Structure 1
Amino acid sequence: MQFGRHISGQFNAELEAIRTHVLTMGGLVEQQLSYAMQALHKQDLELARQVIRDDHKVNAMEVAIDDACTRIIAKRQPTAKDLRLIIAIIKTITDLERIGDVATRMAHVAIESPASKERRFQVSLEPLCRQAIAMLHQVLDAFARMDVEAAAQVHKLDDRLDSEYEAVIRQLMTYMMEDTKNIPHILQVMWSARAIERVGDRCQNICEYIIYFVKGKDVRHLGDQSLDDVLKTDPDT
């Protein structure tokens, strides 16, 4: 994908290398989230430990990409669309790193949870987590193509994730009322559910960065109708 033509071919190469690094980071975060879900569902402690180990890789990627963006700003002094791309990348890697933190937290819950009948509490997170993973996968695909239409569609998926989250919370509260001894563990699972729901918000943020890069419009805090109106406008140069 060509973001723009520059006199310096090296500038193009640097932008492409940074974008590729972001997608690699996103792929690792998506894998973390998938592994964390499996660790909770199957009580797979080794898989949970793998998620925790990979968190250091995600953090290192964030720092490396941030440094690369800082260097390109200092050296190339980008303007207009190139600058928007770098700003979008810096914000995107922050959200990806925080999604990685969610996966790590889930891995810790898998390790600390009793390996007995109480697995049903963790299992209740699976539909929610699957939706979050699907949303992350789709937003990474939209980022790879800088596709504003796809980004807008992913942005709207958060309502479905919120509905699933509310259903999970209702189910967990029912478990709490059935046996108060389970309350401490269920609270942990509730925290994980809330963290997974926040993955949807992070994905929405990335959708907004894509639209900002392509259209030159800040669409944070806009409703779906206003977002659709922005998509109909010509992109800023």
Structure 2
Amino acid sequence: MEMAKETYSRHISQKFNEELSELKNQLLEMGGLVEKQIGEAVEALIHANGDQAQQVRDRDRDVDEMEIRIDEEAIQVIALRQPAASDLRLVMSVVKMVADLERIGDEAKKIARLAIEMADDMEDHSGRRYVEVRNISQHVRAMVRDALDAFARFDADAALTVMKEDESVDEEYKSAARALVTHMMEDPRSIGSCLNQMWTLRALERVGDHADNLAEHVIYMVRGMDVRHRPLAETEKQLDAGSD
């Protein structure tokens, strides 16, 4: 059975309604924080701002604490309310999405660490070599925002659109990595900086993978379909069949 946006607000118990709504809101708050973490970590890298990078690392504790708190509240809901059907899918999807959001936070922390390492190396910090990093950063952050928006609107079709974007990010990552390899061959002095950028690109590509996971969880929540580890074309066909 497809889950409508209003489903979680139709219970006899107002307290249950509030608990489900609070879980949803806390997930969205955590998602906004990790998306911001990615953006600030990349900006710290590009502008060689060690202080900003350290702030990103410090805020990672907030992300971890949010994960623990949301997990505990989800366990409480399951234990006390024993939700069934679409309610249970909502709670379980929140738990799974929180885990992916925490891992996105970890990738932001990795980028911040690289930014700190590179902060003392000002050579070519305003050069073209950061174009790929900035572009992929913007792309994967948009994927995270769109996945969270799909969750907020209980929109499986929007979640599928996010999944389609992951293939584009993978291609951008490969192209950017090739460009950096070429640059290292042309200028061996740039090897250290380029390697750090390649690690950054890899972290951003993983953010895209986690955004893809978020979208999969939304589809499970809304349609009750487990589309993990399936070809994208098969997922799209299944969603189309389910909407008939």
Gaps of 5+ in 2: none
Q: What residue is the counterpart of 1:116 in the other structure? A: 122
Letter in 2 for 1:37: V
Letter in 1 for 2:77: I
CA 1:163–1:234 in structure 2 vs 1: closer, same or farther (change >3 Å)?
A: closer
> Matches of 2:13 and 2:105 in 1, distance apart?
35
State whether structure 2 residue 168 is matched by structure 1 residue 146. no
Q: What residue is the counterpart of 1:198 in the other structure? A: 206
**Quick check: 1:41–1:123 contact (8 Å CA) kept in 2?**
no
Q: What residue is the counterpart of 1:3 in the other structure? A: 7
Q: What residue is the counterpart of 1:210 in the other structure? A: 218
> Matches of 2:75 and 2:29 in 1, distance apart?
19
CA 1:110–1:123 in structure 2 vs 1: closer, same or farther (change >3 Å)?
A: farther
Aligned residues: 235
- TM-score normalised over the length of structure 2: 0.90
Secondary structure of residue in 1 paired with 2:185: helix
Question: What percentage of aligned pairs have identical amino acids?
Answer: 42
Gaps of 5+ in 1: none
- After superposition, the C-alpha distances for 1:56-103 in whole angstroms (9 at most, x for unaligned) are 111100000000011111111111111111111111011001111111
State whether structure 2 residue 239 is matched by structure 1 residue 231. yes
Secondary structure of residue in 1 paired with 2:7: coil
Secondary structure of residue in 2 paired with 1:220: coil
- TM-score normalised over the length of structure 1: 0.93
CA 1:28–1:214 in structure 2 vs 1: closer, same or farther (change >3 Å)?
A: same
Q: What residue is the counterpart of 2:95 in the other structure? A: 90
State whether structure 2 residue 65 is matched by structure 1 residue 60. yes
Secondary structure of residue in 2 paired with 1:125: helix
> Matches of 1:216 and 1:143 in 2, distance apart?
14
Letter in 1 for 2:123: K
**Quick check: 1:40–1:122 contact (8 Å CA) kept in 2?**
no
Shift of 1:13: 0.5
> Matches of 1:48 and 1:2 in 2, distance apart?
40
Q: What residue is the counterpart of 1:45 in the other structure? A: 50
Secondary structure of residue in 2 paired with 1:7: coil
Shift of 1:225: 2.3
Secondary structure of residue in 2 paired with 1:133: helix
> Matches of 2:238 and 2:222 in 1, distance apart?
11
